[in-house]
Amino acid sequence: MVIRQEVLQEVEFILYEGGEIPEVCFWNCFFYLTSPPPEGLGLSLTQEELKALKKSVIERYLVIIERDLTAEFIAKPFYRGISRAAVNVRRLKNFIKNSGLEEEFKDGVLRRKLKRLLKRFEADLKRLGLGLEKVATKEELREFKREVERL
């Protein structure tokens, strides 16, 4: 699979600079890559290149969700909490569905990864002398678990 350098740069941009709603960044990158000059590069993307862009959105969502399931970040200004993680799991699920990638992720790999992140979060909280109930309500935790199960 050969992906052009211009596309790889946009993949990295989505992954590292994609903001809180990475599909917005995806569409900006897509239009930049495919719009004719002077607005864009005028490229015709291959299926592999398009898939690489889409997968970078998924990876960006996982980074954001992991951030909000990292105990050491609780006191940081960028920490959003488990309720925001649930919102991002829902957005991730919708992006996968709307991008035609459902078949690729039907094996539950993302669900298992998110469950592991939650377990690690709980263990890290205990290590810090906190319980999950100190950082999330029962309803927030229930909503997160529900969204993960729907993924």
Contact 144, 81 (CB under 8 A): no
Q: At 85, which amino acid appears?
A: A
The CA distances from residue 112 to 18, 25, 47, 108, in Å, are 24, 26, 27, 6
What tokens appear for 146 in the block?
């529900």
What tokens appear for 34 in the block?
């495919």
Q: Tell me the torsion sign for CA atoms 34, 17, 109, 132.
A: negative
What tokens appear for 63 in the block?
């980074």
What is the number of alpha carbons within 13 Å of residue 122 lying toward its C-beta? Answer: 9
pLDDT at 138: 96
The CA distances from residue 4 to 12, 43, 52, in Å, are 13, 10, 11
pLDDT at 15: 95
pLDDT means per 10 residues in the chain (151 residues)?
Answer: 94 95 97 97 97 97 96 92 96 96 92 97 95 93 96 90
pTM, rounded to two decimals? 0.93
Q: At 65, which amino acid appears?
A: I
pLDDT at 144: 97
